[in-house]
Amino acid sequence: MENNIKDKVVIITGASSGMGEAAARHLAELGAVVVLGARRADRIEKLAKDIQQTGAKALAVEVDVTDLQQVKNLVDTAARQFGRVDVILNNAGVMPLSPMDRVNVEEWNTMIDVNIKGVLNGIAAVLPYMKEQKSGQIINTSSVAGHKVFYGSAVYSATKYAVRALTEGLRMELKPYNIRTTIVCPGAVKTELLEHISEADIQQANKDYVGEVGISADSFARVVAFAISQPSDVDINEIIFRPTAQE
């Protein structure tokens, strides 16, 4: 059976580690052409080489998703090199959790810039191509924390609720263009995400919890592949998944 992934040009932000990297490897195995975006160029270049060695097509493009011009360059480069843009996985994100009374304003702003504006920049960059093609899929990474607020997650959750809201709005508005939208909401997955929590007590509590219940980033890769693999008249709008052991 055709997997509906083979030969699709899939742009992935946040591909330098964790779930983005796992998705890139898995989709390439299934025949996708993957375009890898992140700030750590050394990481995505190495990943692109690894993938190319398996016989699949991969390209690394350094990008800071908070900068619209850089995101446009990522998408334009993909289109120039491979002729089209089938899927964007807006997955880059940061999670410097902290209770609001600690007033870490700079971290609040970073989360808004990366987790919300970064996703909007990805949408802005692909829409001209997808509208013209009259096909495409925009997959945005939200979170279980985009459904529920935890102690210390107020601002992070706000950004992930926003991702769900803007993706649902997009879904309704893109009908004339045959563009699918998918929200993916992971629970606790073992990645580098907790490394940037600046508050030691909050970081330790989260490391303890994710260390205990967290699952592999391959879980996310399989979910993304499932959403892409559906026939073009089937749009998987949202998937929530979490470790079986997570509350």
Catalytic residue among 156, 161, 177, 209: 156
For ligand NDP, the closer CB: 177 or 240: 240
Tallying the residues shown for the chain, one arrives at: 247
Active site residue 151: no
Alpha-carbon span 239 to 62, nearest angstrom: 28
Rule CB under 6 A: choose which of 10, 12, 13, 61 binds ligand NDP: 13
Alpha-carbon span 45 to 47, nearest angstrom: 5
Burial of 187: CB neighbours in 10 Å, binned 0-12, 13-18, 19+: buried
User: What's the Rg (C-alpha) of the chain?
Assistant: 17
Query: Judged by CB under 6 A, does residue 122 bind ligand NDP?
Result: no
For ligand NDP, the closer CB: 38 or 183: 38
Query: Judged by CB under 6 A, does residue 61 bind ligand NDP?
Result: no
Query: Judged by CB under 6 A, does residue 140 bind ligand NDP?
Result: no
Query: Judged by CB under 6 A, does residue 40 bind ligand NDP?
Result: yes
For residue 52, CA distances in Å to 26, 29, 35, 43, 57 come to: 13, 10, 12, 14, 6
Catalytically active residues, by annotation: 156
In the complex, the residues that contact ligand NDP under the rule CB under 6 A are 13-20, 38-40, 43, 63-66, 91-95, 114, 141, 143, 186, 188-189, 191-193
